[in-house]
A and B are shown apart, each in its own frame.
Chain A
Amino acid sequence: MHKLIIRFMFIAGCLFLSCASFAQNKVEMADSMRSNGKIYVVVAVCLTILIGLFIYVFIIDKKISRFEKNKE
């Protein structure tokens, strides 16, 4: 029960903070994400997925090339 109240207060606090930041009349951007460097993690993850996908497609391409050679 105690934990629940703390959790609720935390969420309420977050909501209040986000409302307060809305009141300021400027456009919110993820500036803090860039300054503490965590955005690079996202870039690394996406690049890994991209590289993995391309390796996969590349292997399929190779396999089909081999089959095409066998057929001729």
Chain B
Amino acid sequence: MRKSWWKILSFVLLAYTIIGGFLLEVPRLPILNESIRNLYFHVCMWFGMMILFIISFIYSIKYLRTSSHLNDIFAEKFAAVGSIFGILGYATGTIWANYTWLSDQNQSLANVLKEPKLIGAAIALLIYGAYFVLRGSFTDIDKRARVSAVYNIFAFAMLFPSIWIIPRLVGSLHPGAPGSERGNPALNFNDIDSRLRMIFYPAVIGWTLLGVWIATIKIRLQLLKDKTLFNA
């Protein structure tokens, strides 16, 4: 294994996340109770997804500047792992919302389904889903790389408005939005408790490194496939 120190770092950070995340003290918040510990898992999925999408976006720009196929493969694989993180974030979010919004806050299902954060996240993930559909629909390698690099930049441009800006404008149940002070203890990242921060930041780094590791494996596999294709 080449350059393996960060792979070990990823494991150490995630082991710390699980041990510290379950055993260390957390602030006592109404409604959330112990589920605040989901911060180390659910929220980290979204942060990891954003970092992986940023890397993918950078490689798409690099492809358009250099036309090197390596950059195209990098962009695709980072976007793929980012999407998986996003789907995991969505799935964990539904579980968390079920217990904090539906059961404890007595929100109606209709209210939760109208939730702009959920719709925004779904739109963002579907836009990235279309990126893979688009890639699959080309037979010409150069055309595929160029068009999908341009599309990837568009997808990234839609990501931040749909998951960050719109929920804040229209108000939402999700912490960090203006509507959330009413029932939900606002989990504002400006005043997030230092006890949470001590595990949250290492957790984000750990999960992201794991995502990068999986992406590098996918990239190397793709390179091997391409090599056998060209040699055959």
Chain A contacts to B: CB under 8 angstroms? 26-30, 34, 39-40, 42-43, 46-47, 50, 54, 57-58, 60-62, 64-65, 67-68, 71
- B28 nearest in chain A by CB position: A27
Contact A29/B34 with A42-B22, A54-B11, A61-B217 known, Cβ cut-off 8 Å: yes
Q: Could you count the A-B residue pairs with CB atoms below 8 Å apart for me: how many are there? A: 53
Q: Which residues of B contact A50 (CB under 8 A)?
A: 11, 14-15, 18
Of B7, B23, B33, B220, which is within 8 A of A43 by CB?
B23
Contact A67/B224 with A28-B33, A43-B22, A50-B15 known, Cβ cut-off 8 Å: yes
CB distance from A34 to the nearest CB of B (A): 8
Question: In the complex, A40 Cα to B34 Cα: how many Å?
Answer: 15
Of B18, B217, B220, which is within 8 A of A57 by CB?
B217
Is the contact region of chain B dominated by helix, strand, or loop, or is it mixed? helix
- A47 nearest in chain B by CB position: B18
CB distance from B74 to the nearest CB of A (A): 16
Could you name 14 residue pairs across A and B whose Cβ atoms are closer than 8 Å? A26-B28, A27-B30, A27-B33, A29-B28, A34-B23, A39-B22, A43-B22, A46-B22, A54-B11, A57-B214, A61-B213, A64-B217, A64-B221, A65-B2
* 0/1 string, B1-26, CB within 8 A of A gives 1: 11000010001001100110011000
In the complex, are the beta carbons of A64 and B18 less than 8 A apart? no
Question: In the complex, A67 Cα to B224 Cα: how many Å?
Answer: 8
Q: Which residues of B contact A27 (CB under 8 A)?
A: 28-30, 33
In the complex, are the beta carbons of B29 and A71 less than 8 A apart? no
CB distance from A2 to the nearest CB of B (A): 32
